[in-house]
Structure 1
């Protein structure tokens, strides 16, 4: 979502604040006990069914809905920013203001509140976050007529990234490089536990968009360019979020549905023009996997697809999402997107008409962060004009209420703020380090330069990014775009990680500039140069030339001239055309590895970890070929630069050991069109040390009725192998993975599996299966 990020002061601990915390916690526990007692007590004569925790959720929803006025229903469909209830209630931040809370939570009964990037409490500590959220909930429960709690949302997209001191995980693009659903699931669960400890029950994650244009600033928020990989990992994150364990459950949100990552010129929120075949067969696939994993909500694409804003698309939000896929959860807009139908897209004459377009298309909740009154009044006006029927509003509100009941908010809307610091500060650092380590992709290692030789006595670490924790964490960290100036983010930089991991007696020298590097490199045993791009988020991170800056290319060129080995480490959210920085002895892609990233990079450089990450995207040789992805369709002149010509292809990655693919065997060589294909792949570690191998299986068509890519990922797994060990792994390719939209240019058909031959390949080994 787009918003003006606000930074609030960092963690301050004093005896006075600890005493205040204990008093607040004691008072809150009393309130919680009263509410819980009321909710769990046996239903007495006259007690509303919706207050009876033993009643079925469906009955509770129907009972509560029947007691609500139309205005109260409209309020439930609005989500407003917490900044509208703080300070002067005009984005100043600070303490909650009761007058503004009354307007939002009582007068207009807003059903949901969010903390956008940078919107936190006066003091940015987990306990203060918990007290802020508790206060919002307490006001809503005690002052609204029917005592309905709010859904509280946040963008915790790589750990609880808004909270100072919370462990910052790698961004999704790095997790995509692990090719490991278990690591992604565990990272999602760790994030959910931290989010829940601060009272928040709704996380706007995971992203199921595809990364196919390096110019796009939100490239790093995806799991990669392949729909199967992105869908499997988004599904894993969803399961991790919603089954994290603990007393409080957190709802996951699949975003940005659908086609958000396809802006026609690489800039954020620019309309996409895509064929129906590409939309059905490629873009929709990862969202569907995450929704089938049980996602409670979907956030809708802010952009337009084929001339229609997604927020007003009945086809996307009802025909596909509800009727084809059977989604039962809540569909929420992104930041102020209903108003955009009038103000930017101009498909509505006024705000009530814009609201009607979105609600009738299938929107259940509007992220209208600024004006609760205007949304409620606008929806009521749309009803009076006959633009929206009340039964459609009942349908939307029922979904919202059902989610609140399922999350247990009516029984236990609060958390113990006194426990938040211990639950969040520094939590799950070992997991974050493992995730960052598993995401490292080694792309060059000429002359076995790595691991760093044990007898190395001098290592030059060059570049400002070597000691830049803020850029290492990336966008959406504490603030919206990046860590706000003046805030010290806890964590370990690459320089600190190398110094910590270097053997005793090894001199580690930091050279920030080309001049400093020139004076040190000639006497070094190894030069490690850390390059990258500054942290940023949507809009600001867009770039027409995704390449390494000229000064960084000069720095690498200077080190190369020394004649000593050079290893380039890239800290960035996308592959960058390296120019003069290419051709070094070593190249390690570290992505945006988070607060434990310095240790992760050092673990790989010094051989404490065997790199197992593989590229989830394609790495271009130079700029100008965007969009670029390995599934680009064949043309008639494949020798030109219009062909797929990557510096490093999707799936590339090296190891400190050697692997062999021994066989690919299908369980049957002939299957029916609706059958899954079951394969067994035998792999071996033929080297001298253990490691983890990504095992991808690709499928290709010798002949196809419509154009097919040269290869398409059909299945994958990640397997640990000791030195000399062989294993046979079983994988299943669902029929849906093989399906394509048939027919002519209009692409109007329903996806199906074509009859004929299919070739399945893993590591150069191939097996053929016929669909009869």
Structure 2
């Protein structure tokens, strides 16, 4: 007797389930609704296949137990057999892009741009394992990570989600990240989702959701290539990208979704849309839905109007615009992902082995995050070997981000756009708290008014950007812009972070503080907290030492560890650091080339 392979078993089970499903059940599996617009009864009555939490969308008091209870209620509804209903377990999804940072008390890792500077794929795999364990603690099944964007323009508000502007660096992390998240697809793993397919980092002028106007050869060489190792590692899901490629939106791009991803690359998992991403294909919503599913979309992520989406999807099928063969293909992929993940064998969320685990936000998890912080720091300037500092030094700690865990975590932390206070980030340490723990003579004065060379040997000034995410992080010379939506009734028109990549124009208070302290004869160590390299020529010139700390996450202690010499500077730039704020800044010689970084110790 021939033994069936796991792939054959999954395929047979998926076909068996598919044959027993009504059209309503099939279409319900293709809908991913947002929790705030979805009840457990909705899951049962409409056969929903998945539910998600958008950024900042959390149940109850946003504690681990609240998440488990919510997921348990949704799962229970999905398994109802009332009125002959076919039970198919629900998947719950979150944006755990740098830790399970939607949840209070999570371990928050450095954003990808910092991890790219560590040049340490094994470390990144370990961070992904911790993230997966904390996701499992809340009873969640699916995370929309890793981001495999290759950002080509730092005006883009999602630059910090990119490991590097070099596709080879991004690719070096992809397989390990997927392994870290999915593990063996048993009780210790969650489903990974590589995003965004494809070209999100290559848009003209770095406009979020804009047009990537490049040849197919360049698209493949720069933006597709990091997906190859992720696919080889067994990646189960891919998210379509908001951007267009040469004027055609990726959400409706049959060539990219079906011919290339599913065909040539052999991807047999599911493709999920981004947040209301199909809406922009056409001003008629039904037409847009038909365009997306025929292009190869398997799951529709819908914020509010999921019932309307479901109704219009059915109309498209009944009118013959979307063939049943395409619906069956989509549902077969959805079922196969659930079967490969072992979802049908997993107990209810409340009874899973990792649910409510006290490892969530634990010291062991935070130590890995602290290591990631230490290795991600890049030393750009160090006159007279000022760093590392002595623990006995009289240190003045100043700057708006010195004692602000919200600033150092950045976007996609508790809230979509991030937080700006310490109180919002439960657990961890600010950079100041880390310094205070190691240097007893240190003093905090965020405004620096107490700076006195008779009292202070050195100043650490922590400056940079405030939190942002996606389009609201864009830097656009023209301010608000229309970003090429194909649906004039629903334009993209978010206010950007600013108009320039020059920090002194975005945050003049930073340069003013550095120069005021330096003018008193106190050496200044500037620590830059932000999601991308910015033009900081004046700030560099006024500082004796300058450190790029990126967005280090909840463990500011890791910054202090290196400043005070417990560990050496290790990181090298994953993006070139600009010299000029001109729109064509990449055509000029950078202030520091990619790969630059002063090492110590």
Q: TM-score, normalised to structure 1's length?
A: 0.70
**1:247, CA displacement in angstroms?**
2.1
Partner residue in 2 for 1:155: 95
Query: Residues 215 and 626 of structure 1 are in contact (CA less than 8 Å); yes or no, is this contact kept in structure 2?
Result: no
Query: Residues 25 and 46 of structure 2 are in contact (CA less than 8 Å); yes or no, is this contact kept in structure 1?
Result: yes
Is 1:473 the counterpart of 2:473 in the alignment?
no
**1:219, CA displacement in angstroms?**
0.6
Output the CA distance in 1 between the equivalents of 2:425 and 2:375: 26
Report which of the two has the higher share of helix.
2
Output the CA distance in 2 between the equivalents of 1:55 and 1:317: 24
Partner residue in 2 for 1:529: 461
Give the one of 189, 213, 233 matched to 1:273.
Answer: 213
What does 1:360-759 correspond to in 2, within 5 Å? 360-416=294-350, 419-426=355-362, 428-453=365-390, 456=393, 458-483=394-419, 487-502=424-439, 506-514=440-448, 516=449, 519-521=451-453, 523-543=455-475, 544-548=499-503, 549-583=507-541, 584-596=543-555, 598-626=556-584, 628=586, 642-643=587-588, 645-657=589-601
Output the CA distance in 2 between the equivalents of 1:495 and 1:484: 15
**1:244, CA displacement in angstroms?**
6.9
Partner residue in 2 for 1:661: none
Output the CA distance in 1 between the equivalents of 2:43 and 2:392: 66
What does 1:28-107 correspond to in 2, within 5 Å? 56-85=9-38, 100-102=39-41, 104-107=42-45
Is 1:342 the counterpart of 2:282 in the alignment?
yes
Output the CA distance in 1 between the equivalents of 2:358 and 2:205: 46
**1:384, CA displacement in angstroms?**
2.1
- Of the two, which has the highest radius of gyration? 1
Aligned length: 563
Report which of the two has the higher share of strand.
1
Structure 2 counterpart SS, 1:367: strand
Partner residue in 2 for 1:141: 79
Query: Residues 578 and 592 of structure 2 are in contact (CA less than 8 Å); yes or no, is this contact kept in structure 1?
Result: yes
**1:339, CA displacement in angstroms?**
2.0
Query: Residues 153 and 205 of structure 2 are in contact (CA less than 8 Å); yes or no, is this contact kept in structure 1?
Result: no
Change over 3 Å in CA distance of 1:142–1:107 after alignment to 2: closer
Partner residue in 1 for 2:495: none
Output the CA distance in 1 between the equivalents of 2:391 and 2:361: 35
Output the CA distance in 1 between the equivalents of 2:35 and 2:585: 38
What does 1:220-231 correspond to in 2, within 5 Å? 220-231=160-171
Alpha-carbon displacement from aligned partner over 1:425-460 (angstroms, at most 9, x marks no partner): 33501111111111111111111111113552x111
Is 1:194 the counterpart of 2:134 in the alignment?
yes
Unaligned runs of 5+ in 1: 1-52, 86-99, 344-349, 629-641, 658-772
Output the CA distance in 1 between the equivalents of 2:420 and 2:392: 41
Change over 3 Å in CA distance of 1:521–1:392 after alignment to 2: farther
Unaligned runs of 5+ in 2: 1-5, 476-498
**1:601, CA displacement in angstroms?**
0.9
Change over 3 Å in CA distance of 1:143–1:84 after alignment to 2: farther
RMSD: 2.0
Output the CA distance in 1 between the equivalents of 2:188 and 2:452: 54
Output the CA distance in 2 between the equivalents of 1:436 and 1:213: 24
Q: TM-score, normalised to structure 2's length?
A: 0.90
Change over 3 Å in CA distance of 1:362–1:521 after alignment to 2: farther
Query: Residues 201 and 248 of structure 1 are in contact (CA less than 8 Å); yes or no, is this contact kept in structure 2?
Result: no
**1:624, CA displacement in angstroms?**
1.6
Partner residue in 2 for 1:235: 175
Partner residue in 1 for 2:486: none
Partner residue in 1 for 2:285: 351
Query: Residues 64 and 138 of structure 2 are in contact (CA less than 8 Å); yes or no, is this contact kept in structure 1?
Result: yes
**1:248, CA displacement in angstroms?**
4.5
**1:69, CA displacement in angstroms?**
0.9
Output the CA distance in 1 between the equivalents of 2:420 and 2:517: 32
Output the CA distance in 2 between the equivalents of 1:292 and 1:247: 21
Partner residue in 2 for 1:744: none
